[in-house]
């Protein structure tokens, strides 16, 4: 293809390989039959700021290897044949070859990633120089970049348009099944052994001071935990971050593109990899993410320059035409309709019911036995600096809601789970992984759901400020017909979720949605006031109630407000006492802090 909508200049002279003050920033990859996508992949990563490319191929039938040889002749990549020893898979073979490849050894910074992965930088101007500046400014020498899984966007038909423009629907950031990583790091072949997700220390440096010199950041520029220097290939809740960088993973693309991919196999020769189960895992379309569009102008200019080379353009067109011919033959046969139907059904699986091949079970004893001396010392040092006697560690509240709730305009299939009297959606766009587990087990805010309906006096009034999804208000309203319930939520996305849940549970007539949190505090008297707002200071609410002379009989601080108020409870106790709320409620401290009138 010429990629649709892109004009082609007459000469390649305007395009040169990047140079960087950080030296060689090298992309290392391995490919098989990626011809239709290769030009975009190279152009995009030139736009991102890579100075060098080393790409291994095996068993190509669509001319990908010929395209790479031409790109090498033009000065933009280094192409290498992946000659695979008997009994070895292609990716490990390519890594073994790359370990001793002189062009890889010259890299100052290195990132190993695949042809269906596109690096996306939110930091600064979206280029690697700025990100590496920021990494080094924090005294670090690497960054662990977490996947974002991008789905088909409900596209069936094959298209020649750029991948990064076609597919802009993705998994929610807090969906932990999509948290595989790739690592950008300062490379020294004498100290590092290459890996797909992260490098490993060579044995000869394990018991030196070198591991202590390694500091990696996560995708939000925050320090990674020490364990990841030694093991692991996924982010966890404590380490995931996307503020600076993410690795967009376009594993499936459209249904037709998925058919082409299945027909040509995969770089690791995995049998039956591209089936409906894999589609269900990778076809995630819950959240729109347009970040990649920041690269459009540069990418289009680079694509056009590359395709201005007649030989490269010819090879590119031939690769696309081969893919389209194979697809046409498949669509003309008897199996295409069944294939499409199977993927459509797989795409209807709610995200919380998607199965993923579990990682190899952890064996703590085996891990401990295999730890190097330096890893044990690092582990022990970390424990000594962060550990306190159990009695000194106050229980920390659990974050229930995802920060910066994304656009919820999409309507993906969701699993609805009964929690007491309220059905809740297991939606990772809204709820954190710990909250999702609670919802799926029917235990969301269980302690409060049991207490709150009993806490409101007969014919009393409940007011919830910063109600989130509205669960506590809904549970009380459905449990107590005599209790008027008012809730307010300033986050428009969460307020929409609360309304949807109320409608699902037939509770619209039982509750009142206030217009704004501040106005609700000023204008609604309550016997029980629940504060969950992250934007309203607890002290300010106490002062407003004191000024009105309308203190509730009970006051609870929950959820996002509790996270903000975590610390010394003495000031809150003092402020509550001034309202006559001198008795602490017996509540789960990870869920709520509460005060009530004696008796």
Write down the pTM of the prediction: 0.87
Give the pLDDT confidence score for residue 357 in this predicted structure. 64
Q: Which domains are present in the chain?
A: 25-352 (no CATH), 416-596 (3.40.50.150)
Give the pLDDT confidence score for residue 344 in this predicted structure. 95
Give the pLDDT confidence score for residue 361 in this predicted structure. 53
Beta strands in 106-179 (DSSP E): 109-112, 117-121, 142-149, 169-170
Tens-digit pLDDT profile for residues 112-161:
999 999 999 999 999 999 999 999 999 999 999 999 999 999 999 999 99
Burial of 498 (0-12, 13-18, 19+ CB in 10 A): buried
> In the structure encoding, which two tokens stand for residue 84, read together?
């695979």
State the Cα–Cα distance between residues 111 and 98, nearest whole angstrom: 12
Give the pLDDT confidence score for residue 393 in this predicted structure. 57
**Cβ-Cβ contacts under 8 Å for 415 (sequence gap 6 or more):** 350, 351, 352, 353, 425, 426, 440
401 strand-pairing partners: 431
Task: Collect the ranges in the chain with pLDDT lower than 50.
Answer: 1-2, 7-10, 267-269, 271, 359, 382, 384-391
Give the pLDDT confidence score for residue 1 in this predicted structure. 39
Pairing of strands 592-596, 554-558: antiparallel
State the Cα–Cα distance between residues 238 and 288, nearest whole angstrom: 24
Q: How many CB atoms lie within 10 A of CB 425?
A: 21
Give the pLDDT confidence score for residue 541 in this predicted structure. 86
Half-sphere exposure of 427 (CA within 13 A, CB side): 27
Helix, strand or coil for residue 529? strand
Helix, strand or coil for residue 530? strand
Give the pLDDT confidence score for residue 387 in this predicted structure. 47
Give the pLDDT confidence score for residue 136 in this predicted structure. 98
Give the pLDDT confidence score for residue 385 in this predicted structure. 42
> In the structure encoding, which two tokens stand for residue 409, read together?
């305009």
């Amino acid at each position: 293809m010429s990629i649709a909508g892109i004009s082609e200049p007459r000469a390649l002279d305007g395009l040169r390989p990047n140079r960087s003050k950080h030296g060689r920033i090298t992309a290392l990859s391995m490919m098989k039959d990626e011809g239709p996508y290769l030009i975009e992949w190279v152009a995009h990563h030139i736009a991102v700021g890579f100075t060098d490319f080393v790409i291994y191929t095996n068993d190509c039938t669509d001319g990908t290897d010929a395209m790479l040889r031409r790109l090498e002749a033009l000065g933009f990549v280094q192409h290498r044949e992946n000659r695979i020893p008997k009994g070895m898979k292609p990716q490990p073979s390519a890594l073994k070859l790359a370990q001793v490849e002189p062009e890889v050894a010259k890299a100052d910074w290195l990132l190993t990633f695949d042809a269906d992965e596109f690096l996306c930088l939110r930091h600064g101007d979206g280029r690697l120089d700025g990100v590496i500046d920021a990494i080094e400014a924090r005294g670090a020498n690497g960054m662990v970049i977490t996947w974002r899984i991008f789905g088909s966007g409900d596209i069936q038909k094959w298209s020649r348009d750029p991948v990064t423009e076609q597919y802009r629907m993705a998994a929610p950031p807090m969906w932990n099944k999509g948290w595989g990583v790739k690592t950008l790091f300062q490379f020294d072949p004498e100290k590092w052994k290459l890996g797909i997700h992260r490098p490993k220390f060579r044995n000869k440096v394990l018991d030196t001071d070198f591991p202590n010199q390694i500091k990696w950041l996560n995708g939000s520029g925050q320090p990674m935990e020490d364990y990841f220097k030694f093991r692991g290939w996924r982010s966890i809740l404590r380490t995931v971050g996307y503020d600076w960088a993410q690795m967009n993973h376009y594993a499936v693309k459209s249904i037709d593109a998925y058919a082409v991919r299945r027909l040509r196999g995969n770089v690791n020769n995995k049998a039956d990899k591209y089936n409906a189960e894999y589609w269900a895992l990778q076809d995630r379309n819950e959240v729109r993410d347009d970040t990649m569009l920041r690269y459009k102008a540069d990418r289009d200019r680079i694509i056009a320059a590359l395709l201005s080379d007649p030989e490269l353009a010819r090879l590119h067109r031939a690769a696309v035409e081969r893919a389209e011919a194979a697809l046409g033959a498949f669509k003309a046969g008897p199996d295409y309709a069944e294939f499409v139907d199977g993927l459509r059904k797989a795409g209807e699986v709610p995200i919380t019911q998607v199965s993923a091949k579990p990682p190899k079970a952890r064996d703590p004893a085996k891990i401990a036995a295999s730890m190097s001396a330096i890893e044990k010392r690092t582990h022990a040092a970390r424990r000594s600096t962060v550990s306190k006697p159990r009695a000194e560690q106050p229980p920390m509240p659990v974050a229930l809601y995802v920060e910066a709730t994304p656009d919820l305009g999409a309507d993906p299939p969701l699993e609805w789970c009964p929690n007491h009297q309220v059905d809740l959606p297991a939606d990772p766009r809204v709820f954190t992984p710990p909250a999702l587990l609670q919802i799926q087990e029917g235990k969301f805010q269980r302690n409060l759901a049991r207490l709150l309906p009993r806490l409101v006096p007969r014919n009393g009034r409940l007011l919830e400020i910063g109600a989130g999804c509205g669960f506590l208000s809904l549970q009380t309203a459905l449990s107590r017909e005599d209790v008027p319930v008012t809730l307010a939520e300033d986050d428009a996305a969460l307020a929409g979720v609360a309304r949807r849940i109320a409608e699902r549970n037939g509770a619209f007539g039982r509750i009142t949605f206030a217009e704004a949190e501040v106005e609700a505090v000023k204008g609604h008297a309550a016997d029980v006031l629940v504060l969950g707002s992250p934007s309203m200071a607890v002290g300010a609410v106490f002062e407003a109630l004191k000024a009105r002379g309308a203190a509730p009989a009970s006051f609870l601080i929950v959820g996002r407000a509790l996270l903000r108020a975590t610390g010394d409870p003495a000031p809150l106790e003092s402020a509550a006492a001034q309202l006559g709320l001198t008795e602490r409620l017996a509540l789960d401290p990870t869920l709520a802090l509460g005060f009530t009138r004696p008796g």
